[in-house]
Amino acid sequence: GENVEQHPSTLSVQEGDSAVIKCTYSDSASNYFPWYKQELGKGPQLIIDIRSNVGEKKDQRIAVTLNKTAKHFSLHITETQPEDSAVYFCAASSGGSYIPTFGRGTSLIVHP
Amino acid sequence: GAVVSQHPSWVICKSGTSVKIECRSLDFQATTMFWYRQFPKQSLMLMATSNEGSKATYEQGVEKDKFLINHASLTLSTLTVTSAHPEDSSFYICSAERTGGIDTQYFGPGTRLTVL
């Protein structure tokens, strides 16, 4: 089955800095890669996703890159703000019935 | 769009009782819904996949007689924790895949279960 590794487990940055979270996956058939943000005591919220036919996708301060050859994808957050502090999960799945495999999560702390 | 609700948001029950958690897709139809369990500071663990009108598919190690799942309509799935014990205390989260959608899952806000 699919195995998703996520690093780092904790990331601490100053407000205004950039943050990068990296994930690798094992199944070359995976073609959908969402990123979720989970605030304390809440459910995960989809913030951005990318499919295997695209190398990069951007939405305001958030961007995701995908390298299919190397089987890794990354989340980039620019100009971080304290409200970006949360746990971020990457996931990977293959098409059809969508059952993603999640990474272990990254706790992002943005210091004001 | 794509809002998923859960009820209750938190529940405290006595050991041996049963607890039902509802998951609703508010503005879309969901042929498939998923139930996850999450322990503190850990990732989401898929418990089961439920398809409207059919039996749920449970992940290995999840007791189907203990965690009863019903997906009676395209907008509602329920998880019943039967004969709850303290070790069942956890954060339970559902998600829904939009019918005819493109594989995206939308998560509910979660239900905190505490079994005394």
pLDDT digits (tens, 9 = 90+) for B16-47: 999 999 999 999 888 889 999 999 889 999 99
What's the pLDDT score for residue B91? 96
Query: Taking Cα atoms as reference points, which of A83, A99, A75 lies closest to residue A6?
Result: A75
**Mean pLDDT, rounded, for A84-102:** 85
Closest Cα in chain B, distance from residue A43 (Å): 4
- The residue behind tokens 């607890």 is B19
Token pair recorded at residue A34: 């969402």
Q: Are B46 and B76 in contact (CB under 8 A)?
A: no
Give strand pairing partners of A32. A51, A93
- CB-CB: which of B34, B105, B109 is closest to A42? B109
Q: Do B105 and A103 touch (CB under 8 A)?
A: no
What's the pLDDT score for residue B83? 96
pLDDT digits (tens, 9 = 90+) for A71-81: 999 999 999 99
Q: Percentage of chain B with pLDDT > 70?
A: 95
What's the pLDDT score for residue B53? 82
B41-45, B50-54, B111-115: which is most confident: B111-115
Closest Cα in chain A, distance from residue B75 (Å): 18
- CB-CB: which of B93, B103, B109 is closest to A98? B103
Query: For residues B9 and B30, what is the distance between their CA atoms, to the nearest angstrom?
Result: 21
- Chain B within 8 Å of A2 (Cβ-Cβ)? no
CB-facing half-sphere around the CA of B55: CA atoms within 13 A: 5
> In the predicted model, is pLDDT for residue B112 greater than 90?
yes
Distances (CA, A) of A85 to A64, A102, B3: 18, 19, 22
Which band of pLDDT confidence, cut at 50, 70 and 90, is reported for residue B101? low
Q: Which chain B residue has its CA at the smallest distance from A95's CA?
A: B103
> Which residue type sits at A42?
K
Query: For residues A50 and A23, what is the distance between their CA atoms, to the nearest angstrom?
Result: 13
Query: Taking Cα atoms as reference points, which of A1, A74, A5, A69 lies closest to residue A33?
Result: A74
